[in-house]
Amino acid sequence: MNKTVVITGGLGFIGRNIAKIFKQNDYYVIGIGHGDINQESLKSNDFDEWFQESISIENLKKIDKEIDIIVHCAGGSTVGISIAEPYLDYHKTVNSTLELLEFIRLYSSKSSLIYLSTAAVYGSKEDLPIKESDTTNPVSPYGFHKLASENICKSYAQCFDINVSIVRLFSIYGEGLKKQLLWEACNKIMQADKKVLFFGTGNETRDWLHVNDVATLVMQIATTSATNKFQIYNGSLGVRITVKDILFMLRDLLGKNEIEIEFNQQYKEGDPQFYLGCTQKIVGTGWSHTIEIEEGLKKYVNWYKLII
């Protein structure tokens, strides 16, 4: 009999890609979250069942199958929204995680949980690889709320014997993502005559991981026997690249080499200057990335050109 996976926030950018890889590995895939899928389009979205519901104990109880794995993708998604609407971000991130854990404790104790968190829990760091054991010091409501959810996960793992794996995602990108830096940069560059102005200095560093590699990483965790009930992994490529270099690469791939890229030298609230993840722990499970940043950006730009 096929194993069953439940993906919260299943119609989100990351959720859709995770659904696809579990389907490819012969899981029975159930999604729950916002957005509607009719019966005809279920299969094309890689779901066997879809529940158009918020994440609550009562709604999760509607699932009438024994659940092997729950991948929790639902919750707040950006620093900016968390600053503009902190109460809503807290509710979406922390409350949904607590509802999910309590559902597992009461009704689905054999389920393992994989929670997609964020590198924002680390806060501002020096320009060095960040390890999972490093201190956490969020600088935005988004990071604080994700860390609160991580701590609740840890308490349920330790107190109620639930298997929980946390994945702290760094900068995730890929075809289909219509927000954040790459999408906004492509739009600005394509619409520009001579110059484009971006926030910051351009020397800020990020660690970009393609969404296909996020999906294989989650699958690796799902199929690896953990030695402890509670694990934390970095979800990153382990490659340091400046924002300036990313934008120059995008500009050239878009064929707009004549456009000048400038920076306003201003600090953007909630955005740390440096981010580079140490991948030693996740690579130790047997996982490895397959898409280098140059190839991934090329894929993204080719997709972007098709839809504009």
What are the tens digits of pLDDT across the range 22-79?
Answer: 999 999 999 999 988 887 788 788 999 999 999 999 999 999 999 999 999 999 888 8
What does the pLDDT read at residue 207?
98
Indicate the residue type of 117: S
What does the pLDDT read at residue 37?
87
What does DSSP assign to residue 120?
G
| CB-based contact 66:6 (threshold 8 Å) | no
The whole model's pTM is what? 0.96
Residue closest to 16 by CA, chosen among 33, 3, 1, 40? 33
- Give kind and range of the element (H or E) at residue 114: strand 112-118
| CB-based contact 15:73 (threshold 8 Å) | yes
How does residue 269 score in pLDDT terms, banded at 50, 70 and 90? Answer: confident
Averaged pLDDT of the chain: 95
What does the pLDDT read at residue 262?
96
3-class SS at 73?
A: coil
**Domain covering 180-204+240-275+297-307 in this structure, CATH number:** 3.90.25.10
What does the pLDDT read at residue 42?
83
Domain 4-173+208-236+277-290 listed as CATH 3.40.50.300: no
pLDDT per residue over 273-295, tens digit each? 999 999 999 999 999 999 999 99
4-173+208-236+277-290 and 180-204+240-275+297-307 share one CATH topology? no
Residue closest to 181 by CA, chosen among 160, 206, 161? 206
Write down the domain spans for the chain: 4-173+208-236+277-290, 180-204+240-275+297-307
Q: How far is CA 281 from CA 22, 72, 199, 217, 235, in A?
A: 22, 21, 33, 12, 10
CB neighbour list of residue 5: distance below 8 Å, 6 or more residues apart: 22, 27, 28, 29, 30, 67, 68, 69, 70, 71, 222
Q: For residues 6 and 171, what is the distance between their CA atoms, to the nearest angstrom?
A: 24
